[in-house]
Structure formats: C-alpha cells, structure tokens
Chains A and B, each alone.
Chain A
C-alpha cells in the first residue's frame, strides 16, 4: 500500500490545567482517508484532545500540525476554514434555526459576502446563497433529513439532531471530521446504523476521527485505534492488536490486585 499523506499530527502534546495534567505527551497521527478511533475510559482526555486539535485549548507544550502546517495561535474559526470540523459530545445545534439554516451556517464558513453584498443583493451574494442551499440540501439528503429541512433544530428527534450535527460539520467542507461520541444515547441498532453512516462519510473522501465508548462498535468501523487513559496514550494499533493489548484490557476491566 502506498504511503498515505498525514492529515493531522499531534506531536508530544501536553496540556496542564494548573496542577492537573489533562494530556501527557500525547502523540498521534491520522492518515488521509482513514477512520481513527479514540477510546478510553471516562475522563481519559479524549474530548480534551479534541479541544486541542480544534483550537479550543492551546497545548502547554508540543504541537498540532494539520497537513504539515502548525495550528498554534490560529483562531478557532480559522482552523475550521483550514479543514477541521467537529461535532459535540452534548449536542450543540443552533436551536432557534431550522435544520437547513444550521447547515448553511456551516457552509458559510467558506463564504465571504457581508453587509454590502446582502444590501445590494450582488451576484456574489446570490451565488453564495445558491451554493450554500445546494450543498446544504445535498447533505441533508445524505443524512436522510430532507423532509426535516425546515423544522426548527430544537424540534428534531434526538437521532436527527445527532445526524444534523454531522451534516453541519460536513458543510464546512473539512478534510478532517472529528466526531465526539456521535452514538451517545443511541440504542444498539441505531449505533450500528450510525457506524454504517460514518463509513459512508469516509467513502465520500473525509478523514474521520471518532471518539466512542463502545469497544465493539469501534472495532467494527475503525482502521486504527488510539487508546488514552489518564491523559496518556497507552496503546495504538489496529483493532485486532488493541483487543489483545493487556494494557487496554487492564484500563477497561481493571486489574485484579491480588494477581498483580
């Protein structure tokens, strides 16, 4: 297999909040077109790692590089425009806006028409509106939300809200899509459907970083897995390697103190 381009490199990143070390020299990388799973027990630092990647936190030391370029110092919206989009563990849609408008906000990330364009309805404004609507409707269709397009986001069902969040993130036209526990609160069947969806997302050319609790699901869908515990990376490898890794088993099942 040809060497695939590295989309994201997290290089020896440490993040401290006062005395608490949330991330401790974590290094990982994501190759183009793969689905990388990030797992670990509660409080392991998965979402914190997400927040460092998307610019919510600046690492205390170490660097995050996206397509070879360092992200340090970039504003969050600038990072999104570079090509990293994310969803949230607890759904954070724009509730008073319709499903389509939510996606349009994402699509607007690459638009630039301002007040004057809007006031005079310039050709640029119209082109960007058309482009946004076209892309938005196409994404809603992909997510199976076409009939909900004009429903307020707050009125959508839980599952639809989760899917809408993914659509909104995809609308920003990212290379790397970071999904933070997209299957949280789903029943087993819905989870399986969602994993199928994530595979289809990848097949459309997105690289996916996936946080998920459910080991069995992650095994089925990811190409590689990184395991975090207490802010440290304790294992990395293919799903099969991870399954048999004693450190991972210990982290998830605990270690019998008598035996150790």
Chain B
C-alpha cells in the first residue's frame, strides 16, 4: 500500500510540474479514455459474463452517488446511513413523471427530480440534523427504510410491482426503425482482443446516439458527463467559504458555531446538496437501459455499500469517493463466478482496510495543497527564486 502511495505522490508531483497546456492535454486524454473505455474492452478488466457497458453504467452511477455522499459524510461529517432514500426519491420522481402518471419529457423531469430530492433532503434534515453522531446515523437509517416501505405500500407509486417502461433519454439523430435500421447519426465499433492483439468487433456497434436496448454505452456516456460536471462543481464549492464551514463544523461543531459559522444551516446545505446528487444518480438509473424500478432495487444493503464506498475511498476526498464507488460497484460484477462468496470477500476487505489503512485508499491530499500554497505565498511576497508555475 505504501508503495502505491509513494508512486501516486510522485505522479502527482510530476503532474504539477508540467506546463499548463500539457496538464490540460493530459486531463482531456484521460477523460476521452474513460469515455471510450466500454468500447475498448481491454482484456482482464472487461467483464465477459455480463454486458461491460452496463457494468460501466453501474460503476459511474455508484461513483456519482459516492461523490454526493462524500459531501455529507466526508466534508460535513454527517454519517448518513439512509442515503439510498434520496436515490430512491430521484428514481421514483422520474418514474412517476415520465411513465407512471405523466409523460413529461426526460430533460424536464431530470432537473425536477433533482429539485424534489433536494427538498426531501431539507425536509429530512430540518428535524434530524439537530442530533449528532450515532443518533443521526440511526435516524437516517430509519428514513431510508421508511421511504422504501412507503413506496412498497402506496399504490399510486406502483407498490411492490414497481414502475416499468420508464422512457429512455431522447435520441440524437434519426429514430431507429426496427428490425434493420438502428437509427442514429453514425456507428462506433468496439474492439475485441485476442491476447494482446486488438481487432474490430463488428458485432458490437454503438449507434451515436441511440438510447436503446442494443448498447448500454450511451447511458454510460450520459452519466459520465454528469459525473464530470458534478466533480467540477464539487471542487468549486469545496474550495470556498462553504467548504471551509463544512470542514470546521466536522472538526468541532461548537467551536465552529462560536467562530460565527451557522453550523445548522451549513449541515442542512450539505444534506441538501448530497441529496440532490443522489437524486440525479437515481433519476438516471430509473431511465437507464432497464427502464424498470421497484422497491427491491433500493435495499438497505445498497445504502451501506454507498457508505462503504466513501469510507473505502477515503472520506473527504472526491477522487477517493470515485475510487471507492468504482470498486464497490465493479468488483462484484467482475468476479461473478465467485458470486456466492463475493459478499464474504467484500466483508473481509472491509475488515482488513481499517486495520491497515484507516484513512481510506485515497485520503484528501492536504499536504500537497499546503505545499502549493506555500509556493504561492513565496511568490506573493516577491521571492523570485520561487518556482513560477504553481497552479
């Protein structure tokens, strides 16, 4: 583990030393890589037994949830065990508004689902955020279950049968005309690998951009786009008065309050923003390839897995949340052949991690940031020997 850490640190330093255009180019390359990953189908990481595009969608959805939950747990220090409730509210809002009772267009419903989930977050946070620590965990745990039981029993929300035929996001380009015309503007092939030799796999085309039954990749692209946007927003908010107030509240709520931080308001804000991101992910999940949700899609276990994703990745670090979310969603799919044992292995991993790496895989990089800031100060004070390229 220590070796990996040193290696990562060295990479980060080397990256920080690059000129700005080079760093931009690197980021763009990395982003493109993640967009085409389900088409590249690299050996070893590709899941052979189950559609890789679909797995990647699940991974991105979980990573998005983890980034949202990281705001609540990592930044503001509120242990929320009922986060699945917000995921559910986002999904059901989408289901009800686009299919079950109304037929509103997807891109109108998506922001609505986010707003509804955010309101749910405020509604839940208003009474519960007055308790702290373990008590908050218990209350939120109850909330997650209550919401699931409500949708199981309320006929207007589909009850136990759930909601089916939720429309997919709108296509770009001509609509498909079955059985032969797949629609879309153009076709993007996938690769197949014979050992380390790649070749074009004609049987796995992805039409640009058709949200249909043939390829799960467009759904993945959509959610990945949202994930990237949320990451930018997360960074901007964290690096501001709001982020500082969250961190101060997490560190010492009473002291923060006495330093003029309206802690309750900021905790509520963290809850609402976290909920909104959970709702966004849920909404995208509802309109994904399956187009079907029911109460069993939102078990308590999933809530615990989300928390595990944040903790495993390193609470308080957005990249940690992504890594954690990826691991939690990807590993069980990759090792389906050990299906009976995967929870056992996962449980063991969760027990080993706190012993050897209690701060998570990728904890926040305070030290690097502090170093950069030190250089900045040198510059501001006009010390010419300071390195010029710091940001």
Interface residue ranges, A against B (CB under 8 Å): 54, 56, 75-77, 80-81, 85-86, 88, 92-98, 100-101, 104-106, 108-111, 113-115, 117-119, 121, 125, 128-129, 132, 137, 149-152, 168-169, 172
In the complex, chain A residues whose CB is within 8 Å of the CB of B236: 118-119, 121
Interface residue ranges, B against A (CB under 8 Å): 233, 236-237, 239-245, 247-248, 250-252, 254-263, 269, 273, 366, 370-371, 373-374, 377
Q: Is the CB of B242 within 8 A of A118?
A: yes
How far is it, in angstroms, between the C-alpha of A25 and the C-alpha of B250 when the chains are bound? 36
* Contact of B247 (CB < 8 Å), options: A97, A129, A168, A172: A97
Q: Is the CB of A97 within 8 A of B248?
A: yes
How far is it, in angstroms, between the C-alpha of A129 and the C-alpha of B236 when the chains are bound? 13
Closest Cβ of chain B to A89, distance in Å, is 12
Q: Which residue of B lies closest to A173 (CB)?
A: B260
In the complex, chain B residues whose CB is within 8 Å of the CB of A96: 247, 250-251, 366
Closest Cβ of chain B to A53, distance in Å, is 11
How far is it, in angstroms, between the C-alpha of A101 and the C-alpha of B248 when the chains are bound? 9
How far is it, in angstroms, between the C-alpha of A101 and the C-alpha of B250 when the chains are bound? 14
Which of B248, B254, B256 has the most A CB atoms < 10 Å from its CB?
B248
How far is it, in angstroms, between the C-alpha of A152 and the C-alpha of B242 when the chains are bound? 19
How far is it, in angstroms, between the C-alpha of A119 and the C-alpha of B370 when the chains are bound? 23
* Contact of B241 (CB < 8 Å), options: A56, A111, A172: A111
* Contact of A80 (CB < 8 Å), options: B240, B241, B242, B258: B258
In the complex, chain B residues whose CB is within 8 Å of the CB of A88: 255
In the complex, chain A residues whose CB is within 8 Å of the CB of B370: 98, 150-152
Q: Is the CB of B241 within 8 A of A54?
A: no
* Contact of A118 (CB < 8 Å), options: B240, B256, B257: B240
In the complex, chain B residues whose CB is within 8 Å of the CB of A97: 244, 247-248, 251
Q: Is the CB of B242 within 8 A of A114?
A: yes
How far is it, in angstroms, between the C-alpha of A197 and the C-alpha of B245 when the chains are bound? 28
How far is it, in angstroms, between the C-alpha of A94 and the C-alpha of B257 when the chains are bound? 12
In the complex, chain B residues whose CB is within 8 Å of the CB of A95: 251
Task: Name 8 extra pairs, CB < 8 A, besides A85-B259, A108-B245, A109-B261.
Answer: A56-B258, A77-B261, A92-B252, A97-B251, A101-B244, A118-B240, A118-B243, A149-B373
Closest Cβ of chain B to A165, distance in Å, is 9
Q: Is the CB of B241 within 8 A of A118?
A: yes
Which of B237, B239, B273 has the most A CB atoms < 10 Å from its CB?
B237
Q: Is the CB of A105 within 8 A of B261?
A: yes
In the complex, chain A residues whose CB is within 8 Å of the CB of B256: 94, 105
How far is it, in angstroms, between the C-alpha of A132 and the C-alpha of B260 when the chains are bound? 14
How far is it, in angstroms, between the C-alpha of A87 and the C-alpha of B254 when the chains are bound? 12
How far is it, in angstroms, between the C-alpha of A119 and the C-alpha of B240 when the chains are bound? 9
Closest Cβ of chain A to B302, distance in Å, is 27
Q: Which residue of B lies closest to A110 (CB)?
A: B260
Which of B247, B251, B373 has the most A CB atoms < 10 Å from its CB?
B251
Q: Assuming A97-B244, A118-B242, A150-B370, is B260 touching A109 (CB within 8 A)?
A: yes
Closest Cβ of chain A to B317, distance in Å, is 12
Q: Assuming A115-B237, A150-B377, is B242 touching A76 (CB within 8 A)?
A: no
* Contact of B255 (CB < 8 Å), options: A94, A104, A119, A129: A94
Q: Is the CB of B244 within 8 A of A168?
A: no
In the complex, chain A residues whose CB is within 8 Å of the CB of B371: 150
